[in-house]
Amino acid sequence: MHILQNEHLIIESKNSGAELTRIFCKKQNKEILWSGDSKYWGRQSPILFPIVGKLKDNTTIIEDCTYTMGQHGFARDLDFELIQVDNNSVSYRLVSSETTHSLYPYDFELLIKYTLIDSEVRIDWNVVNKDSKEMYFSIGAHPAFNIDNSLSDYYLEFKSRDNISQITLNGPYSDKDFVLEKLNTLLLNPDLFANDALIYTNIDEITIKNNKDESFVNVNFTDFPLVGIWTPYYKDSNSTAPFLCIEPWYGLADSVDSDGQYKNKKYINTLDPSECFSVSYSISVG
């Protein structure tokens, strides 16, 4: 476990999955990040790579070969190498290996960096194509934030671009797109998650707020193509787990009519040999 702190926050991360495992706000004396209680969901902020969401039948075809991958890919289940740590930041690296080649054929390097800046955690991703051919990939975030008391006490504020769409799910697979005129705020309640995650395009920022006080958690992911919002839903009690995930994505689950070809996945990303994909998002607490 690797710990960074300043006068505002304490954050912790680990080599396994290069996962962020704690955000503690000193001013509020409050745990911001979900604890990972397996009664509800045993993860806290997994990195989704090289797929986001689920493949049809958990398989995909890459260069005429069929590969099997579970939901959200394999990076979250592998040990990363710690490559740098100082007072304000920590960096991890995952390099392709025999293990990854059995699931995904490309040679790659995945770098994850957490930087503590005042009341903000900045998360940087770098995906490097180490192969001799064009590489396809998806990557996404999945941080979960604590919800105290009832979900209905909370609401979301959005900052967005033009032409927002909502993408519906059919089971675990993406289905139809619906254009929204605007999306400024969303009052939360369990029924919203009865059909799994809410997925939107062209959102730059989401702030979780509640009606009880002025505290907030802001997730800024400017220019990301997609964001998912999720919490487990329990039909029998019409309730949800005590956390909410805000998930910036560069990728999407297979569509219901997927042809199984990895390169044809919606929102897939490409890298030429030796090229690097670099992007960041941030979590701030107030």
- Residue ranges of domains in the chain: 2-285
Residue 205 CA, chain-centre distance (Å), reads: 14
User: Is 87 exposed, middle or buried (CB count within 10 Å of its CB: 0-12, 13-18, 19+)?
Assistant: exposed
Along the chain (286 residues), what's the average pLDDT of each consecutive run of 10 residues?
A: 96 98 97 96 98 97 96 98 97 98 98 98 98 98 96 97 95 95 94 97 97 94 98 95 98 97 97 98 98
pLDDT digits (tens, 9 = 90+) for 116-134: 999 999 999 999 999 999 9
Distance (Å, whole) CA 194 – CA 198: 10
Three-state SS letters, 2-33: EEEECCCEEEEECCECCCEEEEEECCCCEECE
Compute the distance between CA of residue 35 and CA of residue 37 in angstroms, rounded to an integer.
6
Name residue 257's beta-bridge partners.
none
CA 176, 180, 185, 191: dihedral to nearest 10 degrees? -30
| Residue 244, token pair as written in the block | 């909410």
pLDDT digits (tens, 9 = 90+) for 150-173: 999 999 999 999 899 999 999 999
Sign of the dihedral through C-alpha 31, 32, 33, 39: positive
* Residues 164, 204: Cα–Cα separation, whole Å: 11
2-285 CATH fold: Beta-galactosidase; Chain A, domain 5 (2.70.98)
- Evaluate whether 47 touches 76 at the Cβ level (below 8 Å): yes
pTM for the complete prediction? 0.96
Residue found under tokens 């290996």: 97
